[in-house]
A and B are shown apart, each in its own frame.
Chain A
Amino acid sequence: MPHHIDCDVVVIGGGPAGMASALSAWNHGARKIFILERNDYLGGILNQCIHPGFGLQVFGEELTGPEYAARYIDQLAKTSIEVMTETTVLDLTPNKKITAVNPEGVWEFYSESVILSMGCREKTRGMIFIPGFRPAGIYTAGLAQYLVNVEGYLPGKKVVILGSGDIGLIMARRLTLEGVKVEAVVEVRPSLSGLIRNYVQCLLDFELPLLLSHTVTNIFGKERVEGVEISRVDQSWQPIPGTERLLNCDTLLLSVGLLPENEISRKAGVSLCHFSHGPFVDESFSTDLDGIYACGNVASVFDLVDYVTLVSQKAGQTAAEYRDKKPIKYQLNPGSGVGLVIPQRVRQVDNGWLFVRPDQSFRDGKVQFRTQGKVFDKKRVAVCRPSEMIRYDLKNIHWPEEGGEVIVEIIGNPIEGI
């Protein structure tokens, strides 16, 4: 027989989202709480992020990833929240039965509330159709970050990094510090994807080249990477024939995007948003299934762990209180210039946030809110980038009396260059 457990809250995934939501549920009165984590440690992705820059919003100081995680691990130790590591959740049903395995056997949890916090995964080479050979030496940047920072393995001596998002930029610096030659950071967009701060501190300070409007169009080497072909791209990101050039390298790192990890959500039948690739959530991070919540990168990839913590606390609170929900009043959808909005559903505007991710970089822009063709609010943004979500307090938006579909769009001057 499987081990059988009845409880108030089960949190799937023990990264920053899982830890913050469990603690918040505890602080709001839930008592029988379990965190199920597949790894043999808590903290999720934070453990491999040994650079500083975490916690400015939540703690008002700069921490490294492991330090940030440690704060929550310490707080957990002061509660009776049960943490089960080396425990992988394999199934979730709509009526909140969770099945997990670990070396002790099969576990079934029957819980009032379930919080999804499984994080995200990286896009791979096949997903972006880079042609060529399939030798050793092609890594996603996050995997390389783990292997270098946690395991202490060096993936190569000469690398090309595809993608100028923050993980790509940070890995460029990290590998340079290890004596690895970074040949170039190649970016398909006409503008930088990551934070300016990371561009300055990770590329400029080390004189590493950034090639905008370029992409990798071929991979050479049968056994180990021997080089990559890069090409200039046109406005629709199509390679321009005749612009090919060879970069010699033994490693290609791909930092080409993250995707929320929703296998479990899908098994439960939680409906997923085409834009965020995570569940549709409301301002308390409830999914459309009663008693199931989603927070952190499983809901939508957040670039800042501080935001992950904020939204997860909200999810934990609601999961603990588990009261009747008001009907959905506004349904939010991204319009032009916007990649995604989170939450996609708003019931009450007095409490909570709205996160908006631009789909490209703009200068002198404004974020507009429209319903039935009419703009009901607009907010200025001096500069915005896909790497930084714009955050609003819901109550600071002038919502119309009547509910309905709301389009969020950004108008501005596209940035070309850094």
Chain B
Amino acid sequence: MKKAYDVIIIGGGVVGCAIAWFLSHFDLKILLLERELDVCCGVSKANTGILHSRSYLTPGTVKGELHQRALSWFPEIEKELDFHPTVTGALTVAFNQDDLNYLKSIKKIGKYDDAEILSPQESRILEPNLSDRIVATYYDPHAAVVSPFRLTLAFAEGAALNGVKFHFDRSVGGFDQQGKKIIVHTPNENYEASYVVNATGLSSVKIAQKSGDRVPDLSAFKGEYFLLDKESQGLVKKILYPIPNSVSKGILVSPTPEGNILAGPNFESSCADDTSTTPQGLNEVKAGAQKLVPQFPFNQTIQIFAGIRPTLPERDFLIFVSKKYPGLIHLCGIESPGLTASPGIAEYVGELLVQQGLSLKNKDQIIFRKAFPVFHDCDWEKREELIAQDPDWGQIVCRCEEVTIAEVKYALRMNPPARTMDGLKRRIRVTAGRCQGSFCQMHLPSIVMNLLNIGIQDLLKSDKNSNLFVGETKKVVNAHATPH
């Protein structure tokens, strides 16, 4: 028997999870289907993590409209989801007169009273490591950074707390109409819903085309990054943007909310599943970062990675109702600033669903999500209190990020739960620090196997075939037991 839902959301990226959270405010039966074993495994896992401020709006586009909506909504969302953005502010850096004109134009778009154009001296007081070849910067105090994992998981956890179901390992292959219902096909089982939202990131165009809708083909553009050790903390305190070029915001240097430094991304033609880093790409990022910060300490790199932008020729979001299935909504081309715009996108999708006949009835009560404590960020008093409540808080498993067993247990039991090493990393930062897991992975496998009651063959890094181990070592045999 097929299970029937009011709304099925396909895709557990930041956008799908934001939609799930938004719709969970209403009296609806909602399911989210995700191909991978966790949320935040697609575009949302590898990006710059900036909540771009109003200065970066693109007026006259869908992107710009939804970006704007999201920005005015975030303070309220933060109260409900407790996802801690870090307001760092940003400097957009001009190296010549044309650049300076651009700064003046974004100042007009931003319309912030407290944003201003700074001289090189003023800029370098704020950011002493900035290049001395700059002619001016535009200082915007409102730009913020957020962990993309934390934001996505906050939406997902908030949605789950308010009744949304998550099914993982469900790759949607196509649809059927059955009366007024849409049947959603996956290799495992079929689902039935009145409304369906296709928020599948890099796959969304293909899925839209498969459902009979005409959408231009998607182009995939890769962006590569360097992530520095926390030792580099303070190298820059604000986001340093270059002047955008015709294709992207350019290679920037940014602090992360956890205290690392990020440089990237470049913009290179790629394909949807090629998340590999390349020597050329990395060199390009290097040059870009050094242009802003000549002394950029690449020798403090702890990780290199790449993300893929799902871009349409128009370079705008394309969010529309299917011609064939009146209850189906496609979200295509959700590239930057998709992370920032995600709640705006969610609200807009809600409006489209209402236009298509869905009725949104407010629930009597909404459960707010409270972030689980992060031992590393607690003061000593709080740490003592936590250990007194539960000794697991006094057991550190990850030395670099100071993550405790209590947090591992939480990550494995929260909803949606971590089921893989990367799932743990994205929730609580084990293996995300300077040793990149070479210490905590000594003990984590057995801890996780015990807590989940699984065997060695089920221990995965991220995907279904990403087994960490192939088996066990040889066993000692009693020599006397094998007589000749």
Contact = CB atoms under 8 A, between A and B. Distances in A.
A136 B461 contact: yes
Contact of A136 (B273, B275, B456, B468): B468
B402 A90 contact: yes
Given A131-B282, A151-B445, A224-B467, A125 B384 contact: no
A139 B439 CA distance: 11
Contact of A129 (B301, B470, B471): B301
A145 B215 CA distance: 52
A5 interface: no
B327 to A, nearest CB: 34
Contacts of A150: 442
A143 interface: yes
A223 interface: yes
A153 B469 contact: yes
Contacts of B465: 223-224
A131 B304 contact: yes
A155 B469 contact: yes
Contacts of B462: 136, 223
Contact of A178 (B273, B441, B463, B474): B474
Interface in B296-353: 301-305
Interface in B371-427: 380, 383-384, 387-388, 391-392, 394-396, 399-400, 402
Given A2-B384, A132-B276, A103 B303 contact: no
B482 interface: no
Nearest to A219: B276
A133 B380 CA distance: 40
Interface in A124-175: 124-127, 129, 131-137, 139-140, 142-143, 146-148, 150-157
Contacts of B114: none
A218 interface: yes
Interface in B183-242: 227, 231
Contacts of B468: 136-137, 153, 155
Given A146-B442, A148-B473, A153 B460 contact: no
B297 to A, nearest CB: 12
Contacts of A106: 380, 383-384, 387
A139 B464 CA distance: 19
B479 to A, nearest CB: 17
Nearest to B229: A127
B435 interface: yes
A223 B438 contact: no
Given A154-B469, A157-B470, A222-B463, A143 B301 contact: no
Contacts of A146: 442
Given A151-B446, A223-B463, A126 B227 contact: yes
Contacts of B460: 136
A351 interface: no
* Of listed A122, A142, A152, A239, residue having the most chain B CB within 10 A: A152
Contacts of B304: 126, 129, 131
Given A126-B227, A147-B445, A153 B395 contact: no
B466 A135 contact: yes
Nearest to B394: A103
Count class of interface residues, chain B: 35 or more
Nearest to A177: B474
A122 B435 contact: yes
A156 B395 CA distance: 30
B300 to A, nearest CB: 9
Given A154-B472, A156-B470, A135 B394 contact: no
A102 B395 CA distance: 6
A105 B394 contact: yes
A88 to B, nearest CB: 4
A147 B471 CA distance: 11
Contacts of B402: 90
A121 interface: yes
Contacts of B282: 129, 131
A152 B446 CA distance: 11
A136 to B, nearest CB: 4
A143 B441 contact: yes
A101 B396 contact: yes
Contacts of B384: 1-2, 105-106
B439 A121 contact: yes
Given A38-B399, A103-B395, A143-B442, A154 B473 contact: yes
A153 B473 contact: yes
Contacts of A388: none
B436 interface: yes
A178 B466 contact: no
A154 B470 contact: yes
B60 interface: no
A223 B388 CA distance: 41
B307 to A, nearest CB: 12
B171 interface: no
Given A99-B380, A132-B276, A223-B465, 8 more contacts: A101-B394, A121-B434, A125-B436, A157-B470, A218-B276, A222-B275, A223-B463, A224-B467
Interface of B: 227, 231, 273, 275-279, 281-282, 301-305, 380, 383-384, 387-388, 391-392, 394-396, 399-400, 402, 434-439, 441-442, 445-446, 456, 460-474
The 6 closest A-B pairs by CB, nearest first: A103-B391, A136-B461, A136-B466, A126-B303, A103-B394, A223-B465
14 contacts: A38-B399, A102-B394, A105-B384, A105-B394, A129-B304, A143-B439, A147-B445, A147-B469, A153-B456, A154-B473, A156-B470, A222-B463, A223-B461, A224-B466
